[in-house]
Amino acid sequence: MAAEGVVLKNLNLKSGHCVEVKGFIPEGCKGFAINLGKDPANYLIHFNARFDLHGDSHKIVCNSKEANAWGAEQREDIFPFQEGSETTICFKYDEDKITLQLSSGEQFSFPIRFPTEVISYLSLESLELKSLTVE
């Protein structure tokens, strides 16, 4: 994965809110990631879409990271992404889970593994940001 691209701090996303990330997936992309959490050492969710990365092919892998320690990976079989195209992913933050809505209409959830009042940090890896909407 490439180094972090866009990094936002002080996002102030509270329970019940959504953040919608619209981005462009470059040609030749092996995978891209969207991280939401408190800071680079604490991710409530690490969303990693893998075209061909770390032994995974066309797989979504989600994880959490607390005090720089990774949790157990959650793998999803849905994979609506294409290199050289735009995608939109909406992250709805609730107290116990984050529900992800993909641009294809499919959705799944990822559990909140450590409590936090707000999501203040967002970063993108290998995804070109087109727009960011917070609702």
Query: Is the pLDDT assigned to residue 2 strictly greater than 80?
Result: no
pLDDT of residue 31: 97
Alpha carbon distance 36, 76 (integer Å)? 18
The pLDDT assigned to 4 comes to 64
Check pLDDT > 80 for residue 1: no
46-82 pLDDT, tens digit per residue, is 999 999 999 999 999 999 999 999 999 999 999 999 9
Strands 42-53 and 56-66: antiparallel
What does the pLDDT read at residue 115? 86
